């Protein structure tokens, strides 16, 4: 499959009063054309920092990219100057966030806000932009779009506002849509509708999606590929099938056991992973998950595991899979 985005060893640091803290540590991931990558993990694991780093929006917040490359269609975004990124940001790559209200301007009608995005990116006159704004509202599933276009954000429900935000993002015809917990602020039935909308748009428009979520259930429904993040690192990644049918990392299996309906028989009680994410400035020695891991061995407390390949697209950072990875590498060697 054709790669749209290829991130290699991306390390983002923040200057704090305790010195330089790495919020992401050598992140590598790929997003293919027309596919969805879900970045999953608990809050504080570095998911949002990863997406902001890809957009190079971290530079404003005391943060900096310390290492790595962000290859988007053959160009390294990590090496570009801020003014060179204008053409990419909001145009080839659009972003939507958790809270739709904060993304909308309360003093303009939603139609005007979409039309403005259209005239910004596509050089349309006022009438054309307005008509297309109405069409976009229709496309994102807003009923009576001609009427709704003339309304202000506070006249629309939260779910409708998120649809408007998605319409604004789509006005630029982006090749990559980054959605950071886009449904977390919405109630459950609306969440499902927004996810369905994103899925539809991906299929219709061929847009690639980087979807950030703490919810493995959402990832199961939406993802083609999954990357599991823990304490600033991607600890496991693979296709959705590999992660759900053959999960390897003890952190991933812990996340899977906390989805309602999976591993049933718990009398309605959800499994939760014991302990908390370590402070990023104070990671344990060895595997960063070792203080919480039920399988930790001596080696885990001494040496950090690298990416071990255990399937065609399946990687894990866990010493339990050392032999399996060696066997897989050996098997590959014999075939070539």
- Binding string, residues 222-261; x marks residues near ligand SF4 by CB under 6 A: ---------------------------xx-----------
Q: Could you say whether residue 186 binds ligand SF4 (CB under 6 A)?
A: no
| Cα angle value 235/241/245 (rounded, 5°) | 80
Binding ligand SF4 by CB under 6 A: which of 38, 224, 305, 310? Answer: 305
Q: Mark the segment that binds ligand SF4 (CB under 6 A) among 48-56, 100-108, 127-135, 292-300.
A: 292-300
Instruction: Give the Å distances, CA to CA, from 75 to 33, 52, 89.
Output: 16, 17, 13
Smallest gap from Cβ 308 to ligand SF4, in A, equals 10
Residue 320 binds what, of Mg ion, ligand SF4, none (CB under 5 to 8 Å, by partner type)? ligand SF4
Q: Burial code of 22-34, b = ≥16 C-beta within 10 A, e = fewer?
A: bbbbbbbbbbbeb
Residue 190 interaction partner, one of Mg ion, ligand SF4, none, beta carbon < 5-8 Å per kind = none
Considering CB under 6 A, how many residues would be counted as binding ligand SF4? 14
Pairing assessment for the beta strands 93-96 and 19-32 based on DSSP bridges: unpaired
Q: Tell me whether residue 130 or residue 321 sits nearer to ligand SF4 (CB atom).
A: 321
C-alpha closest to that of 293 among 216, 235, 238: 235
SS3 121: helix
Among Mg ion, ligand SF4, none, what binds residue 39 when CB lies within 5 to 8 Å by partner kind? none
Exactly one of 126, 266, 295, 332 binds ligand SF4 (CB under 6 A); that residue is: 295
Angle (deg, nearest 10), helices 158-171 and 126-139: 130
Considering only residues 66, 262, 320, 328, which one is a binding residue for ligand SF4 as defined by CB under 6 A?
A: 320
Q: Which H or E run includes 242?
A: helix 240-245
Segment (H or E) for 256: helix 250-257
Query: Which residue from 47, 154, 37 is spatially nearest to 98, judged by alpha carbons?
Result: 47
Residue 277 near ligand SF4 by CB under 6 A:
no
Binding site for Mg ion (CB under 5 A): 48
| 287 touches ligand SF4 (CB under 6 A) | yes
What, of ligand SF4, Mg ion, none, does residue 305 touch, CB below 5 to 8 Å by kind?
Answer: ligand SF4
Please pick, from the candidates 300, 308, 310, 325, the single residue that binds ligand SF4 as defined by CB under 6 A. Answer: 300
* CA 63/CA 28 separation, integer angstroms: 19
Nearest-angstrom CA–CA distance, 264 and 187: 24
3-state secondary structure of 308: strand
Which span sits near ligand SF4 by CB under 6 A: 95-103, 106-114, 132-140, 317-325?
Answer: 317-325
**Binding footprint of ligand SF4 on the chain (CB under 6 A):** 249-250, 287, 289-290, 293, 295-297, 300, 305, 318-320
């Amino acid at each position: 499959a054709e790669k749209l985005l290829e991130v290699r060893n991306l390390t983002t640091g923040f200057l704090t009063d305790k010195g330089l803290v790495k919020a992401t540590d050598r992140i590598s991931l790929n997003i293919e054309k027309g596919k969805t990558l879900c970045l999953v993990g608990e809050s504080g694991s570095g998911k949002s920092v990863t997406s902001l780093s890809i957009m190079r929006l971290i530079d404003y917040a005391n943060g900096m990219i310390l290492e790595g490359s962000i290859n988007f269609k053959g160009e390294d975004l990590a090496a570009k100057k801020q003014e060179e990124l204008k053409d990419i940001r909001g145009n080839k790559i659009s972003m939507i966030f958790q809270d739709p209200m904060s993304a909308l301007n309360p003093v303009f009608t939603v139609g005007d806000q979409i039309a403005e995005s259209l005239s910004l990116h596509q050089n349309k006159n006022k009438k054309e932009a307005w008509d297309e704004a109405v069409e976009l509202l229709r496309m994102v599933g807003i009923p009576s779009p001609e009427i709704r276009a003339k309304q202000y954000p506070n006249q629309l429900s939260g779910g409708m506002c998120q649809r408007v935000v998605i319409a604004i993002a789509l006005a630029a015809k982006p090749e990559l849509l980054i959605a950071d917990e886009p449904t977390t602020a919405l109630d459950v039935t609306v969440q499902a509708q927004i996810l369905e909308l994103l899925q539809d748009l991906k299929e219709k428009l061929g847009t690639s999606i980087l979807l950030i979520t703490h919810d493995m259930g959402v990832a199961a429904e939406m993802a083609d590929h999954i990357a599991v993040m823990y304490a600033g690192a991607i600890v496991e990644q693979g296709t959705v099938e590999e992660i759900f049918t053959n999960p390897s990392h003890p952190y991933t299996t812990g996340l899977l056991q906390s989805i309602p309906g999976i591993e049933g028989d718990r009398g309605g009680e959800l499994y939760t992973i014991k302990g908390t994410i370590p402070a990023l400035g104070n990671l344990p020695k060895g595997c960063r998950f070792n203080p919480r891991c039920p399988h930790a061995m001596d080696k885990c407390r001494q040496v950090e595991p690298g990416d071990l390949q255990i399937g065609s697209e399946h990687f894990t950072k866990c010493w339990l899979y050392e032999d399996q990875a060696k066997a897989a590498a050996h098997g590959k060697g014999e075939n070539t």
